[in-house]
Structure 1
């Protein structure tokens, strides 16, 4: 049975996709059958033929070197750089939960380690009209373990603790934290790491420095963050 991990962030632009690319690369280079999934992504460019390029998926595929076809990675791709629920109001094609789960299950049947990336922070809505679909609905539908990505700099204590407390209250298990843009020896960054661990009870499992091309974590520890899928694989 495949194993999965859901990647969330403390907000937009904390480097969630970049870190996800390093995670998937680590698995692939360790000889693991690795794949990527993102339910919905916004702010994408168009090809000359007018079709949309799933930019985050392309970045992860390029960074990691996985052979998974790009068209398998993301069911919903929007051009407008806003939350998916609002992009769908502008462009049509609103998110359907059955489609997300079917596409995710398809990936799970083909690969052993699936890294599922969220859109924005944990509260980013996927759909908000007559239907309301949140990221946590997808997480709970497949009983996914979660990993939080946070910027190492100013403001991260508040963002990390609030995200952790919300996820705990909503029964979304968080396995740990990865700090991005981390500067070893920076007193603020080192204190943020210590304070976030103390205030959340979560371990900072890795720190990513600017320009890193490898994730500084043992492969065995990374694998332990993944858990068998709790949902239905058809």
Structure 2
């Protein structure tokens, strides 16, 4: 997670410079921001605010989300503060903001700060990326029988405002691109989703290793590793 300096201005006219944490998350997924603040008085208030990423608007203000665990808006039910309070283990106040079922409109800056002058704010820059799913699963698949067929499907869903180009989805085996003759293309009714299926008709030991699906030169990627157990050797 990359950090960059960011200049901020609070409502009281207080100016500051923060380190911004850049976070990339897939559309429809869940993301959590963890804010740690040095010990505060018992009556301190920790506030979460949000500034949407709207290129067409200048000077857009921070929108309130939470004060401690109290919701300040009814428009974002997907936004939840899972915990807000003093953590004995780290000796700091901890507040965790979780956003479920991410949408493109959730892109922007999220800031956690207290109402105490001496405390520092935490800033998170959220970017939403296309989602990718591999079936039957990503990670590791154990094989105990050669010669049987297997299908690996890679489904990519672009952001709602973008049309997907299925030619930008590629399958690789041990870092080598797999030719189109081994692949089946399946376009969704919705133009922002496409699936590329890898058909392996007769598995052999040479088919073990890393299979990686890559979309748009790395905009999204996931992998699955095939390996044979001792029973199949």
Q: Same fold (TM over 0.5)?
A: no
Higher RCO (C-alpha 8 Å, min separation 6): 1
Q: Which has the higher strand share?
A: 2
TM-score band w.r.t. shorter chain: under 0.3
TM superposition score normalised by structure 2: 0.21
Higher Cα radius of gyration: 2
